[in-house]
Chain A
Amino acid sequence: MGLGKNLSDKIKPYLNERTNLDTMIALDFSTFMGRFHPILVHLPIGFLVLAILLEWYEHFKKTTSKSKLIPFAWLLGAISAAAAASSGWLLGETGLYTEEGLFTHRWLGIAVVIVAFIGWWLKKSPDNYSNKLQNGFNILLLGMLLFEGHKGGNLTHGEDYLIEYAPNAIQKLAGASDTKDSLYAFKSIDSVNVYAHLIAPIFEAKCVACHNSEVQRGGLNMALPDGLAMGGENGPILAKGNPTESTLFNRITLPQRNIKFMPPSGEAMTYDEIKLVEWWIQEGASFNDSLPGFQLNDAMKSVLLRKYGLDTKPKPWYEMVSLEPLEEGILKALEEAGFVIKELGDTNHLLDVKFSGQPLTREKLVLLEKAASHITWLSMAGSDVKDEWLSSLGILKNLTRLQLEKTEITDAGIGHLTGLKHLEALNLYGTKVTDACLQDIQKLKTLRRVYVWGTKVTPEAAKKLQEEYRDFELVLGAN
């Protein structure tokens, strides 16, 4: 991090801050006044509701003389409403709220002030006006107060605040979308979008309450990728590839007592969450890439495993295939032919097949075709399998391990195996194969381990092949 190179970059936001500062100082006092708004708004509500209830009470009791208290309460209500509106105006000017949410609240508030004053005028000489007009006015004002209060509440607490914990029926009535996420079930690492599935839920839990589309503290909206990319009042919060230069990362890793530490209240981010955010920024803070597009170090791998149960180790093929159990009749036929058959697991119906009933014949081997997609481990070790019979193995599409050790197989037999798309281990020790079989072995791209101890494969040829393929082990053994 050369200081000179980054100097201009460093000054730029600083300059912006200076120019903002003058206006900010002027704003300070008005902000101070503005913050009385949440207190003041309760006064008109109290006074006006009291006035209306009093009037209705007297009407109910059929009192002859109207109380002088009613117009007085209306006046108090109107004046306090004016105070609340002006403080509200100042608060709105701080820019912490979105304009679209603010508009109705602001102008409806002013309308309440006007209506309250007119009300006071009406109630001063109630006998001049009809009961209908008076009551209509009461109901109009109550309705306005209710709606205005609700709008104000939404601005402070967010739109979902009121109904978030309401019974489902009420939520449906209110038309809320069903947003409660159950823990995301990852099918495979390819299906994990890093931002949407790993990062966004952290922001959702720890940041979005104050940085969302409605409430944008510091001018920052963290609910949407656009908002994150744009940053807040003081500029961008993400420096792609550079967590320590990112305001976001800095603010969540400050000492917790620091006034700028985020989140200012509630639970701080956990170590794993901070590590995830750091890694996401380090890797370019992409909003679209899925997990395979990211570099993973061991520490991240264990965070993903611990926190999300995401195992990033390349899985063996047999754990990625899911199949229905093989028909019982086929299993029986295979067993009668001398194959020992086992299912890999409770829920994994792939088969581990071993031939044990000598002699092996072509007919018996052909039986395997009926279980073609189920066989993943196959051993014909020590059997009298012949080269040309291996041609029936080509269709075992999920075969990952093949044991042909201690048989009479030659190079010609290996040629029949080149169609196996998922073969990972091939045991040929003690067979008649030679260097020539390595040609065909090269064609098996998924092959990781080949055992050729006790064959005519030479160390030179083996070494040559090893050098060409790095992630491949040819085991020659001691001899």
Chain B
Amino acid sequence: MCNHSNKNYSRRDFLTKTSLGMGALSMASMLDPMGLFAKEKPLIHLPNSGGGALGTPHFPAKVKRVIYLFQSGAPSQLDLFDYKPLLNKMNGQDLPESVQQGQRLTGMSAGQASLPIAGSIFDFKQHGESGAWMSNLMPHTAKIVDELCFIKSMYTEAINHDPAVTFLQTGSQLPGRPSIGSWVSYGLGTDNKNLPEFVVLVTKDKYGQPLYSRSWGNGFLPSQHQGVQFRAGKDPVLYLTNPPGIDGTSRREQLDHLQQLEKINHQDVGDPEILARMAQYEMAFRMQTSVPEIMDTSDESDYIYDMYGEDSKKPGTFAANCILARRLAERDVKFIQLYHQGWDQHGDLPNAIKVQCKETDQATAALITDLKQRGMLEDTLVIWGGEFGRTNYSQGQLTPESFGRDHHPKCFTIFMAGAGIKKGFTFGATDEFGYNVAQNPVHVHDFQATLMHLLGVDHERLNFKFQGRRYRLTDVHGKVVNDILA
């Protein structure tokens, strides 16, 4: 690293510096030709504004922080929320072509001789004053439906897990774009300088479809905006602790000197990634004290553990992560993303989905209740949902006790709770086969636009120029779903 100061420019350094330097200069003069020669103008001074690219949000943010409970693998909406009695009546009959309308199927069920309609074997009831339908798989969540806003008409374009997760998290099926949390971090900055703006918690020991860290990647945004994964166990954030024999003071001193060197390096080379790395060193240093404080949940009362369920005392479970999510939200982390894998039930759905619900139902309901009693639903949004839906026909053999469901992008259900959205409300509907959206379709980009809107961001105006064009989370699409806003 010290070699930087006396080395010759490489071709890469030259191109980086000149293109950026000249580019920045010409950009600045284009925006404000007089400003190039004028004295530095005093900008509105808000040192605490968090350093986001936007400075202030475009409009007042109803939501200050988001907890996104991502159910990876795609939970079956037909067995949880989207009650379709017709499927029970037609159980076992072949799915009419008039419903399927030539929709492409995955290779897993496209070759099946028949597509037998599979009614849910779970009991559906209406709950709460809002009368929301839910099956008996989620008894705890069913008790709080009056806090929830269901969108039953979500649809996506991807048909397989990774593209679908990538699409939902980054707005593009192809890897390489920043994820929602990174955009939020980049645009709005931090509310707590001791913790990252974007934290990821993944339930441990869950398998099924792989989950790639690029789902919380920063794409082309500066790298300090990527999600930081907190793990269960001795080292919540990897490589954060000081090696034996190094104490905090000498670490600080070392960082100070490193910063000076990096500053010189940046002046020479002008690579913005140097700034990003400097920011990350500093963040890592502050996290050395802030993270252990977050992860040490011994100050939580017993009845809080009871509320989140017995799993919540085992680090790394979904329930334990829900408690951590609340603790992070209390400390103003802007975007907290949980991942829970294992919803990909192509076969033996009835048994597998019970296990999944047991792991998530109580903690989800507890998190929402807990946030509510702390008054945090005033400005926190909780989102629960997967990457697509599941088919109304059985993949593999349909028996009275068992069936499987294949991937289904044309409709799925998500729910939200908290600030800025209607409570006890169901938006959109599927047809009576639960196959196509019949009313108020909500595309993934619409969902993303709405999420950004709630955070005070006009999704069309938060963008980043990369490889010659401006990119944004919703690409060139997305409409805010005004009807769900409170």
Contacts and interface: CB of A to CB of B under 8 A. Distances in A.
Given A451-B374, A453-B373, A335 B48 contact: yes
Contacts of A305: 482
A331 B374 contact: no
B50 A451 contact: no
B303 A479 contact: yes
Contacts of A342: 46, 48-50, 56
Interface string B174-215: 000000000000000001000000000000000000000000
A302 B46 contact: no
B369 interface: yes
B38 interface: no
A345 B373 contact: no
B327 interface: no
Contact of B56 (A328, A346, A451): A346
B113 interface: no
A479 B60 CA distance: 34
B378 interface: yes
A311 to B, nearest CB: 8
Nearest to B56: A343
B47 interface: yes
Contacts of B191: 340
A449 interface: yes
A325 interface: yes
Given A325-B44, A328-B44, A332-B45, A405 B60 contact: no
Nearest to A336: B47
A401 B61 CA distance: 13
A341 interface: yes
Contact of B378 (A331, A345, A427, A479): A427
Interface in B316-337: none
A354 B474 CA distance: 32
B302 interface: no
A318 B303 contact: no
A348 B56 CA distance: 10
A39 interface: no
A319 B373 contact: no
B47 A345 contact: no
Contact of B456 (A325, A345, A454): A345
A477 B372 contact: yes
A475 B191 CA distance: 26
Given A305-B482, A343-B46, A429 B373 contact: yes
B375 interface: yes
B61 A344 contact: yes
B45 A345 contact: no
Interface in B283-325: 303, 307
A242 B285 CA distance: 72
A340 B48 contact: yes
Contact of B375 (A346, A347, A348, A475): A475
A429 B375 contact: yes
B59 interface: yes
A346 B485 CA distance: 20
B483 interface: yes
A372 interface: no
Interface string B28-49: 0000000000000010111111
A478 interface: yes
Of B303, B374, B482, chain A has the most CB atoms within 10 Å of the CB of: B374
Contact of A319 (B42, B49, B60, B307): B60
Interface residues of B, number: 28
A380 to B, nearest CB: 13
Interface in A382-437: 401, 403, 405, 425, 427, 429
A257 interface: no
B486 interface: yes
Contacts of B61: 344-345
A313 interface: yes
Task: Give the size category of A's interface with B.
Answer: 35 or more
Contacts of B42: 328
B374 to A, nearest CB: 6
A459 to B, nearest CB: 13
Interface string A458-479: 0000000000000000011111
Given A429-B374, A479-B303, A341 B46 contact: yes
A341 B191 CA distance: 10
Contact of B45 (A328, A346, A403, A454): A328
**In this complex, which of B58, B59, B60, B482 has the most chain A Cβ atoms within 10 angstroms of its Cβ?**
B60
Contacts of B59: 344-348
Contacts of A453: 373-374
Interface in B46-71: 46-50, 56-61
A430 to B, nearest CB: 8
A451 B44 contact: no
A318 B57 CA distance: 15
B269 to A, nearest CB: 34
A318 B60 contact: yes
Given A477-B372, A478-B373, A313 B48 contact: no
B188 to A, nearest CB: 10
A449 B50 CA distance: 28
A99 B483 CA distance: 52
A313 B58 CA distance: 20
A319 B485 CA distance: 15
Interface string B342-381: 0000000000000000000000000001001111001000
Nearest to A305: B482
Nearest to B47: A335
A344 B373 contact: no
B57 A344 contact: yes
A331 B60 CA distance: 19
B171 to A, nearest CB: 23
Contacts of A332: 45
A479 B302 CA distance: 11
Contact of B483 (A302, A343, A454, A478): A302
Interface string A131-165: 00000000000000000000000000000000000
Nearest to B306: A478
Contacts of A476: 373
Contacts of B486: 313
Contacts of B483: 302
Interface in B101-133: none
Contacts of A319: 60
A451 B44 CA distance: 35
B191 to A, nearest CB: 8
A1 to B, nearest CB: 31
Given A328-B45, A343-B56, 4 more contacts: A332-B45, A429-B373, A429-B374, A479-B303
19 contacts: A335-B47, A341-B46, A341-B48, A342-B48, A344-B56, A345-B58, A345-B59, A345-B60, A345-B61, A345-B456, A346-B59, A348-B59, A350-B60, A403-B375, A427-B375, A475-B372, A477-B372, A478-B307, A478-B373
Task: State the 5 A-B residue pairs at the shortest beta-carbon distance, nearest first.
Answer: A477-B373, A451-B375, A427-B375, A453-B373, A344-B60
